[in-house]
A and B are shown apart, each in its own frame.
Chain A
Amino acid sequence: MSSQDGQAVPPKALTGLGGFLDDRFRGARGVRTFFKKIFPDHWTFLLGEIALYSFIILLLTGTFLALFFKPSMTDVIYHGTYTRLDGVRMSEAYASTLNISFDVRGGLLMRQIHHWAADLFMAAIFAHMLRIFFTGAYRKPRDVNWLIGIVLLTLGMLEGLFGYSLPDDLLSGTGLRILEGVILGIPIVGTYLSFFLFGGQFPGNDIIPRLYVIHVLLIPGLILGLIAAHLFIMFHQKHTQMPGKGRTEKNVVGAPMYPYFMAKTGAFFFFVFGVLALLSTVAQINPIWLYGPYNPVSISAGSQPDFYMGFLEGTLRISPSWTWDLAGHTVAWNVLFPALVPLGLLLTGAALWPFIERWATGDYAEHNVNDRPRNAPTRTAIGVAAVAFYSIMLLEGANDLIADHLDIPLYTITWIARFAVFLGPALAYFLTKRICLGLQRKDRDLLEHGLETGIIRQMPDGEFVEIHRPVSEEKRAVLLSKKEPVALPAPGAADENDIPAPATRGLAGKLRATANRVITESVPLTGGNGHGNGHGNGHGGSHGDEAERAAVGAPHSPVADGDVAAPGTVARDNGQQSGDAGS
């Protein structure tokens, strides 16, 4: 697809208006640049847009809710439409949420859209982040935007936590109680901070109005500003693209903003809105009237936070009850550690990863073409390990529901999770890396031998061979997009005079050399034991015969020897490959 279609002449009415505006604001050049902006077509590039559009819907529905919500903890006796809570003492915040749900026209629908949009916003951020990670789209020059994304994720979690705390129902109060516990767990200043935040003893009368201001003003403002920065940086640096035919580090292949992408992204907004409206009309979310008003003496079984905080719930539930008594002060490791360390590891690790990878690979170049996940086995394996770690904690956060519904004793689940949290990521890392390397081998075979056609031909001398068909041009370009990692000198490697390479000296040098060994593990696209006649593969170790490698795989030696050429297809294969490599 090319960008020439972008030159289509707009309707006359538009040119008139455009001329009027351009005469006054001189915007035509900027708008032209914007209209000609190229967007690569790939479905994963729309994951971030789900988050963007969910956020817009959150702002709109949130404004509606703010018109009717009363962020006040003043005690009232409820005598409203929902008769099952008639005569119950509750806060004004909870009463007004009941009012929104049962008396305000469209109020319950707005509440549900708002809540589903929040869940979708966070889910889309996670999905978007995983796509960026696994394709290596965070690499230079986009590492700064990656960091902004991590801040956005963190802000989204806080915004959600404060949002579902506002209705002051039994579930939200339970969440705030845990928040109070975590704050109290901070050594030395914890009690002071807690009293400062809650305006006295928990729950006090101040927390809802305070969270309200943070929820509707401070964090949305920050998120809005950071989203703007995120988008402008993306716009300025241009999109990454998936590898393919004609896609290089210097170009972007896709459709222009006007008219193609504008139509697509506009349609996608309505898809997001439509899915949220669908969910909100058929699926009940957060039925606060069932939970009843918050009361510090009450708690319900099966209390869970929204899914994006479920990880923290899991770390808290898994944590052994360790406390220290230091000079009359309690250090509550059982709360402090699960609240801060695992999530801190994940987020800090994610933030540092682009820089760790750069240090370990020595690859300081700019990257605009994405990696296929299999072509960066170590990165992919670390990502899957992190996902496993996160998922195990998320499941552990629902351990009582799992116990109840699957008839497994509660503590059994907790103990399984305590081991799985260490073993699961390790197993995920190992398996993923092996799978990635296996897929690399498959790619190499495809490139060297082509696709099996299932046609067996008997040669004049009686030999049977299977005909292989070379892969398509597009597929070949994708396969060839793999960049072989450059290995740094091995740890302890010495030259002929027994002098170790400077880069591997010292602790940092050794560490870097070891990390480099791990991260550059790869099955080269060319080489291996490719026999020209298509049999004898399947033991794709690196023990292949050098002469055959040169003949079949290496693009710089297109000469195939005679017996290889016999079945026909593979020789052509070689010719094309060398041709590509030359271009």
Chain B
Amino acid sequence: MTIDAQTESRADDVPALDADDRDARRSPSRILGALRPARYSGLLLLAVFVAFFSIRLPETFPTSSTITSIAGDQSVTLILALGLLVTLAVGQFDLSAAQNLGMSAVLCGALMVKQDLSPVLAVTITLLVGVAVGVVNAILVAGVGIDSLIATLGMSSVLLAVTSLVSNYQFVGPVPEGFQGIANAELFGLPVVAVYAIGLCFLVWYALEHSPAGRRAYAVGASPDAARLAGVRTVRYVAGSFVVTALFASVAGVLVTAKIGSVAPTLGPAYLLPSFAACFLATTQVKPGRFNVWGTVIAVVLLATGVKGLQLMGNQLWVTDLFNGLALLVAVGAAVLSGRRTRRRRRRAS
């Protein structure tokens, strides 16, 4: 619990260490810092989950069908979470993303089933509508200046209404077989939707963590005033982030439709909590204190494994909600506590 433990986590990414650093590494605080598992504690916890459920459920848990089902189910959550990362990076919340997903799924299905549109046309229209939602969010937050929590909460309710209107409270589907193939075809033994998700991970990882635009987005999130004075067009970044998040939500919605064929009108809200929980859990992983892609991946898999194991053990459905909720509280609690520890360290150092 020293300054060293703090710098340790950042210094790890840097290959060149001078002699002083290497000597300092041998001091007890350095070693403690190196052993401090916080940055990858999610992976450790994942290993514990896998071991625990494998021992308790040797027949059902450690099977390829478990892997396939987690990969298939969680790809959609992951894509939504990747979208949320973009708004979270600039310091905003998009609560409407989950319902945008639900609306896109129902709309895409309805366009094909009720209007008999070709899949290509249906998907195009759906994505355009999804992006339009993002544009409206951007105008409300960056233009009008409504707090993002309130603006997207309102938008979420509007989208819920649109979803009900389009679906008439009925299941929409089934969508054409060929269309279902875009999500369910197998590639390398995994449903192709998981491959999409991994591809998008790399895309967002590059865009947020290794491109100038991403760095500026984080600057807006860290300190909008300082970012503006350093020449960042903060309004543009805030506005753009809502459009990107909406696009990801809409893509995730289309993929859900393809994956499950028949869409329930109540689909959206179920994605809200797991995706946000994953994003916040991610701030305790890999790059502590920042919303980051690989932390989010770890978090999504961790949450999904826990839920899957509990379900296989014969628990009721409410276990899912309980688990996700508790995980969110624990994650944010851990983030706040580790932030407090960092501040204390800083205070000691000055």
Q: Is chain B found bound to chain A in the same assembly? A: no
The chain B residues found within 8 Å of chain A, CB to CB, are none
